Amino acid sequence: QVTLKESGPVLVKPTETLTLTCTVSGFSLSNARLGVSWIRQPPGKALEWLAHIFSNDEKSYSTSLKSRLTISKDTSKRQVVLTMTNMDPVDTATYYCARMLGAVAGRGGWFDPWGQGTLVTVSS
Amino acid sequence: QTVVTQEPSFSVSPGGTVTLTCGLSSGSVSTSYYPSWYQQTPGQAPRTLIYSTNTRSSGVPDRFSGSILGNKAALTITGAQADDESDYYCVLYMGSGIYVFGTGTKVTVL
């Protein structure tokens, strides 16, 4: 069974750096056909794709947030880590990680399954 | 930044058919954008419905179908049921490993 689980702080202060961890099971982060993305959703608003990491460690980032994001992975720990710098109250959201399938040979993939999400509130 | 547009809301009668669309603020959606669709109920993580334009994910009922209609990607629900009442999101692949979610459509079944 494939599962992903997000973990990290519930509350961060403005200007701080957020570090989130996605721990996966049921698949390997070294599988050439798979990757992991981070996606967020502010309360009552739409989903927003943030970043992706491929098995070969290639990374991609949202154009609008690229300067603030870093994604990395530790294959042996089965973990994908997202850091977001200079947090602001508008970054309050549920943060999801999701496995990506199908993104091979230049094709676009899809997200399946998703973790349960973790709510991060930015407030002083 | 590219905006992916969806209708804010739709209402459909039980047993009825509704088509949601996913367009671009600039340009046309084609299969080269590998559109995928997700269903989300309140408080839950999204669930994959359709990927690569028209392939149903495992376990998804065949009343959900995906296509390209004109210059947009489309999700059609045929024979809507009460538990189809959800938010629906499309995602488009922009190339270079970048994805953009649509603005989402809230579907009410009544």
Q: How many CB pairs under 8 A join A and B?
A: 75
Mean pLDDT value of segment A36-63? 96
Q: Name which of A51, A94, A49 is nearest B101 in CA terms.
A: A49
> Is A14 near chain B, with CB under 8 Å?
no
Residue B50 · residue B57 · CB < 8 Å:
yes
Q: Name which of A43, A85, A77, A26 is nearest A61 in CA terms.
A: A85
Does A113 sit within 8 Å of B48, measured CB to CB?
A: yes
Least CB-CB distance to A116: which of B36, B45, B52? B45
Q: CA dist A38 to A4, A22, A82, A84, Å?
A: 11, 9, 8, 11
Residue A40 · residue A49 · CB < 8 Å:
no
Mutate to test the interface with A, among B25, B41, B98 (most CBs of A within 10 A): B98
Using an 8 Å CB-CB cutoff, list chain A residues near B96: 60
Position B61 confidence tier, pLDDT thresholds 50, 70, 90:
very high
Mutate to test the interface with B, among A69, A112, A118 (most CBs of B within 10 A): A112
Task: Tell me the two tokens of residue B101.
Answer: 């979610």
> Is B106 near chain A, with CB under 8 Å?
no
Residue B1 reports pLDDT greater than 80: no
| pLDDT tens sequence across B3-25 | 999 999 999 999 999 999 999 99
| pLDDT tens sequence across A86-121 | 999 999 999 999 999 988 878 999 999 999 999 999
Backbone angles phi, psi at B93, to 5 degrees: -90, 125
The residue in chain B having the minimum alpha-carbon distance to the alpha carbon of residue A41 is B45
Q: Name which of B84, B74, B101 is nearest A98 in CA terms.
A: B101
The average confidence (pLDDT) of chain B is 96
The average confidence (pLDDT) of chain A is 96
The residue in chain A having the minimum alpha-carbon distance to the alpha carbon of residue B33 is A108
Question: In this prediction, what percent of chain A has a pLDDT beyond 90?
Answer: 92
Position B104 confidence tier, pLDDT thresholds 50, 70, 90:
very high
Residues 31..90 of A with a Cβ closer than 8 Å to B: which? 37, 39, 46-49, 52, 54, 58-64
What b/e string do you get for B67-91 counting C-beta neighbours within 10 Å, with b at 16 or more? ebeeebbbbbbeebeeebbbbbbbb
> Is B54 near chain A, with CB under 8 Å?
no
* Separation between Cα atoms, residue B100 and residue B103, nearest integer Å: 10
Residue A38 · residue A95 · CB < 8 Å:
yes
